[in-house]
Structure 1
Amino acid sequence: MTAPSEPDWFKSSYSGGSGTECVECVRSADGALIRDSKRAEGPVVHVRAGAWSVFVRSLARDGLS
């Protein structure tokens, strides 16, 4: 039996340029996980696939992606 692999977190390209406002995301089987990159051991927010899609589409519609 192999150990579970760590998720492949990536930083949002829209996080603050000063390095103080960084959000990391990872896709999951049924949506996305979001966390504060400065607190990797801290809380993780799970967003279901449908809600994540609406969020991303609204960013694109508003010219933010």
Structure 2
Amino acid sequence: MASKYPMFGLRIPPELMDKLKYIADYNGRSANKEIEQLVIKHVSNFEKNNGPIKNSINND
């Protein structure tokens, strides 16, 4: 089944990717889900400090 979510290519040094995969495995996640959790935390912290981000695509 195809995902409705947009795809995003990420270039990352191999050594860093290996570490990310290690952490993801430790947390019982795929590397993709680990990155998603990191982005969620980053956006949440940003909004906590700066207020909500208005997404013009979803909040017209």
Instruction: Place the TM-score, normalised by the shorter chain, in its bin.
Output: 0.3 to 0.5
Q: Which has the larger radius of gyration?
A: 2
Whichever structure has more strand as a proportion of its residues is 1
Higher relative contact order (CA 8 A, sep 6+): 1
Give the TM-score normalised by the residue count of structure 2.
0.38
